[in-house]
Every structure is written in C-alpha cells, then in structure tokens.
C-alpha cells in the first residue's frame, strides 16, 4: 500500500478483488498543505448567454436583480461560497478593450464578439459591473488582460484605473464613473492561451512579451495583484518549462488549461446526454489524465522554482461536449448531467492532492457555458449536478489536506478501458472537523468502503450523497430537482466506518 495525499492514482489496485475489500485510511496526524479556497474558483466570459441573460439583466430589468445581476443566480452562487471569479475571458480577453466598458452604459460602443458567435457585444458589463458581481458574491477577482489586440500601455492604464487612490486622471475617471475607492484586483493575467487564440505564439516569444508587460503594469504598494502568465495545455509542459526557467520576477502563477472531451476528439466530442457507457468510461479516464499532466508540470516547477513561489493555476477545466442541437455553436451551451458531477469531484480530489502548487482553478464556466453551475432559460434557472458537487465540497475550501491511502481498490473496466473505481480525499476543515470525499466511477456497481482513522477510532459520518439511476440523469426546467444531493450517514463498528458509495456516486461526509 502506498501512502499518498488524497489521490486516486498512486494506489494499489486489485482488479476483480472481492466486494468489501476497499479500505481507506485517513492520517490526521500528518496534515498536508492547505487546499486554497481558490481551487473552487469560477470563470465568467463574454460568451453566449454566460454573462448576458445568464447573470446580467441590467438594473432596469423586470427580472429581480441587484445592480443588474440576477438575484436568483446570485443567491444560488452565494451558497457555493464562490471564492474567485475570472473575467472577461478566455479568448475574449485578448480582444477586450476596457475603456469600451466604462461610463454610461447607453454610450458604450457596441462591438461584434468575433470570438464567440459573432453576436453584438454591448459592453454593458464592464469593469464596474464585474467588481459589483464579485462584491455581491464576496469573491476575489481575477482580471485577464489583453495582450493580443491590446498593448502594455492599455493593460497598465487599466491597472491604474482599477487600483490607484491618487488624483490621477484615470483614478478620477473611475470616481466620475461611480467608484471612489480603488477596486481590489487579486489576480491579473497577461493574455490567455498564447499558444492558440491568444496569438499563436511560441513559449519563448510569449515569455519575453510577458516579462516586458509585467514590468510595466504597476499597482500601488500593497495593492499589486498576483500576476499570472499564460501557460500550456493538455500534455504540453514546454510553457511551464520556459516560463519557470526564464521569468524571475513578477510571476506568481502559470496558467494551465485542460478540458475533458469524452471521445478525445475536438471535431466530434460526444453528447452531453444520451451517451453510451463507452463515453462514460472514456470521460472518467480522460478526466483522471489531468493528474499526470499536473505531476509533470509540478516536477518542472520543483526544478526551476524550488522555493515554490509560483503556483500552477488550472484556470480553465471541465467537460466540453458537442453543443446542444439548435443552439448557436459559438455559445458552447451544453446540458450537465450526473456524469459532470462525478467529473468535478474527481478533479477536486486530484487538485487537493496537488494543493501545494495548485493554488487556483477556474471551472469553465459559471453559467450556461460548458460545464456550468447554473442553466437559465429567460427568467427560469436550474442548478446542475455540477453545482451540487461544488456545494458538497464547500468544507474543503481552505481546509488542511490530510493523507489518504486506499487499499484494495478495484478497477472499473469496459472493453479495453479501465479506471480505478474509488477516488478519495480528506481534509481538516476550517471548522476543525474532518471531511472525507469518496467517488465511485463505476456506473453499475455500488462499492463498500471501510474507512479507518489512523491513531483513532471513527464513530460515525454524516453528510450527503449525489447519485441518480441514469448515467446522464440531469435537471430540466420542468424537473429541476431530478438530480440533487440526499442526506447520507454511515455507522462505525470497532472504530471503522462502513460506507457504501453508490454506483456513479459522490459522497462527502464529516467523519466524527
């Protein structure tokens, strides 16, 4: 048995082992790194109905709102204790000009969103509206700068506009636009996906541009955000290698993007619902692949940044399916099923395992886009299974990770594809309680897990479980509670808990 921190992958797997042999041991005497709350960060881009309609209706709308933001959506998001929101993109960020999004809304230029759907972008949501949203949610802010069609001067002036408390012309313009005190910018990224939509660059070219930009984008003492460089994706770790070797100043994190695509092919990705079991298991496998990607990037960081100054920020991740029939292909609108909740939970467990370097992640995206928390249809709203997974994992925000070992894990297999059936993660919450998350990747079989607490005795466990009869069970506007968590408890005997994790299920409990 290998002892690891909260990971599914370095475990001993016994293919075909008898039922009841999976045992999980938590070691509370060896606390690991804190799971930064920003691992549960969100992403809202000017894309489809992700912002307009999905969240923003404007202050004059009949839809109940606060400062233009939908009250129903705000209320639901507050339950998730959203720690951080990334905005305005994504690919959109490299075409966004901040000056077009300030001042009276009726006077802002209407542009074409050439990145997403070719629709009119009214600029109704700009800097002030974004910070309103963050303040209403109590979330930290992650602003993505425009390196593509912008300039260092434009980014520097945006930073001054947001953060200066002087009488400078830009600070006074911010005041004229209704904001006296500076905004709090927690993170600032220089460009996005520089390898692709952000300019089709090489790592070396971007690295030089980053160093220059980060030198000139200034903020007052004590107000400088953490600076994020645009990194690589998938199996490409060249970006981490070049950036961490060459950038010695002004870089707090390197971003990384990875999307789970059931088929692994961008042209036909697979459907969000009505998929075969082969696409269930391939989705599990493709999700778990992020563990290896993080490992190889962290290895590079450990070599080039031994003092661990630089975080590995997975600022885009999640499922990406074929868009729903009849929707604008540029809107990336997809249904969200129980499979997405299991994918989210597997990712969380992996992120916890790498908490030392993975200090921020942002699921793509918050509302109506890709693996969303919330779907809306005009004034209606529903919570997705992914939302419920986030809600269940709230106690892991800023919790201290605890080592977990899994013995006798079994494989769930279909054809030539196999994945470990059980994933586990444990932490000591900020409330002092011990939390355990268990995921069963097998859509057909429950799994009995014995839970031990090293050096102590478990008495009972209380929490919630998320599962449903069908692999693609999902919520609709007609049946919004089709998939939702239920109360869950487990009893102990002889100091060990017996936890039955249902097929395709996620369990999060407080272990007493």
Site for ligand AHR, rule CB under 6 A: 45, 89-91, 192-193, 316, 364-365, 370
Question: Minimum distance between the CB of residue 45 and ligand AHR, rounded to whole angstroms?
Answer: 5
User: For the stretch 347-385, what's the b/e string if a residue is b when 16 or more beta carbons lie within 10 angstroms of its beta carbon?
Assistant: bbbbbbbbbbbbbbbbbbbbbbbbbbbbbbeeeebbbbb
Identify whether the C-beta of residue 256 lies closer than 8 Å to the C-beta of residue 314: yes
If we measure between CA atoms, which residue out of 323, 327, 333, 397 comes closest to residue 365?
A: 333
Identify whether the C-beta of residue 373 lies closer than 8 Å to the C-beta of residue 318: no
For residue 54, what are its two tokens?
Answer: 């999905």
Q: Which helix (H) or strand (E) segment is 73 a member of?
A: helix 71-79
Annotation says 121 is catalytic: no
Q: With respect to ligand AHR, which residue has the nearer C-beta, 92 or 387? A: 92
Question: Minimum distance between the CB of residue 265 and ligand AHR, rounded to whole angstroms?
Answer: 16
Question: Minimum distance between the CB of residue 316 and ligand AHR, rounded to whole angstroms?
Answer: 5
**Active-site choice (154, 193, 279, 356):** 193
Question: Minimum distance between the CB of residue 254 and ligand AHR, rounded to whole angstroms?
Answer: 15
The dihedral over CA atoms of 143, 147, 148, 153, expressed in degrees to the nearest 10, equals: 110
* 453 vs 70: CA distance, rounded Å: 44
CB hemisphere CA count around 110 (13 angstroms): 5
**Active-site choice (160, 279, 316, 356):** 316
Q: With respect to ligand AHR, which residue has the nearer C-beta, 367 or 490? A: 367
Q: With respect to ligand AHR, which residue has the nearer C-beta, 45 or 305? A: 45
Question: Minimum distance between the CB of residue 336 and ligand AHR, rounded to whole angstroms?
Answer: 15
Annotation says 316 is catalytic: yes
Question: Minimum distance between the CB of residue 318 and ligand AHR, rounded to whole angstroms?
Answer: 8
Three-state SS annotation for 256-292: EEEEECCCCCCCCCCCCCCCCHHHHHHHHHHHHHHHH
Q: Which residue is nearest to ligand AHR (CB)?
A: 90
Q: With respect to ligand AHR, which residue has the nearer C-beta, 310 or 332? A: 332
Q: With respect to ligand AHR, which residue has the nearer C-beta, 92 or 488? A: 92
Residue 216 phi/psi, 5° resolution? Answer: -100, -10
For residue 71, what are its two tokens?
Answer: 């009250």
User: For the stretch 435-461, what's the b/e string if a residue is b when 16 or more beta carbons lie within 10 angstroms of its beta carbon?
Assistant: bbbbbbbbbeeebebbbbbeeeebeeb
For residue 445, what are its two tokens?
Answer: 């079989």
Non-local CB neighbours of 81 within 8 Å, separated by 6+ positions: 37, 40, 138, 394, 397
Tokens 């509670």: give the residue.
Answer: 481
Q: With respect to ligand AHR, which residue has the nearer C-beta, 192 or 467? A: 192
Q: With respect to ligand AHR, which residue has the nearer C-beta, 90 or 420? A: 90
Question: Minimum distance between the CB of residue 370 and ligand AHR, rounded to whole angstroms?
Answer: 6
The catalytic site residues sit at 193, 316
């Amino acid at each position: 048995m290998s002892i690891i921190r909260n990971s599914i992958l370095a475990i001993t797997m016994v293919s075909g082992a008898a039922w009841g042999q999976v045992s999980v041991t938590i070691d509370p005497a060896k606390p690991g790194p804190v799971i930064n709350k920003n691992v549960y960060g969100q992403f809202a881009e000017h894309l489809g109905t992700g912002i307009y309609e999905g969240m923003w209706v404007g202050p004059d709308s009949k839809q109940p709102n606060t400062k233009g933001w939908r009250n129903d959506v705000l209320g639901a998001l507050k339950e998730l204790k959203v720690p951080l929101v990334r905005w305005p993109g994504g690919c959109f960020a490299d075409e966004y000009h901040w000056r077009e999004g300030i001042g009276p809304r009726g006077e802002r230029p209407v542009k074409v969103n050439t990145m997403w759907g070719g629709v009119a972008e009214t600029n109704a949501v700009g800097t002030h509206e974004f910070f309103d949203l963050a303040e209403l949610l109590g979330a930290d802010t992650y602003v993505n700068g425009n390196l593509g069609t912008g300039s260092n001067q434009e980014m520097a002036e945006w930073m001054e506009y947001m953060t200066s408390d002087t009488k400078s012309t830009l600070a006074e313009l911010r005041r004229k636009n209704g904001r006296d005190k500076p905004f709090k910018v927690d993170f600032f990224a220089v460009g996005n996906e520089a390898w692709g939509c952000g300019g089709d660059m090489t790592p070396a070219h971007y690295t030089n541009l980053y160093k220059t930009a980060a030198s000139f984008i200034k903020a007052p003492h004590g107000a400088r955000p953490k600076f994020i460089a645009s990194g690589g994706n998938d199996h490409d770790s060249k970006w981490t290698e070049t950036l961490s070797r060459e950038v010695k100043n002004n870089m707090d994190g390197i971003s990384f993007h990875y999307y789970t695509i059931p088929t692994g092919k961008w042209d036909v990705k697979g459907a969000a619902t009505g998929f075969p079991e082969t696409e269930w298991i391939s989705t599990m496998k493709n999700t778990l692949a992020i563990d290896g990607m993080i490992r190889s990037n962290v290895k590079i960081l450990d070599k080039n940044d031994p003092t661990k100054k630089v975080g590995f920020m997975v600022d885009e991740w999640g499922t990406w399916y074929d868009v729903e029939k009849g929707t604008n292909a540029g809107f990336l609108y997809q249904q969200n099923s129980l499979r997405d909740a299991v994918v989210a939970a597997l990712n969380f467990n992996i992120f916890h395992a790498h908490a030392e370097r993975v200090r921020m992640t942002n699921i793509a995206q918050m509302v109506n886009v890709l693996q969303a928390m919330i779907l809306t249809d005009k004034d209606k709203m529903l919570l997705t299974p992914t939302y419920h997974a986030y809600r269940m994992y709230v106690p892991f925000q800023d919790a201290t990770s605890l080592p977990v070992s899994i013995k006798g894990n079994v494989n769930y297999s279909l054809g030539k594809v196999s994945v470990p059936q059980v994933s586990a993660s444990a932490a000591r919450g900020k409330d002092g309680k011990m939390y355990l998350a268990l995921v069963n990747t097998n859509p057909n079989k429950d799994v009995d897990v014995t839970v031990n607490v090293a050096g102590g005795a478990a008495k009972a466990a209380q929490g919630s479980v998320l599962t449903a009869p069908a692999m693609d069970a999902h919520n609709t506007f007609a049946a919004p509670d089709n998939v939702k968590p239920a109360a869950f408890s487990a009893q102990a005997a002889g100091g060990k808990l017996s936890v039955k994790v249902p097929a395709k299920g996620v369990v999060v409990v407080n272990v007493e």
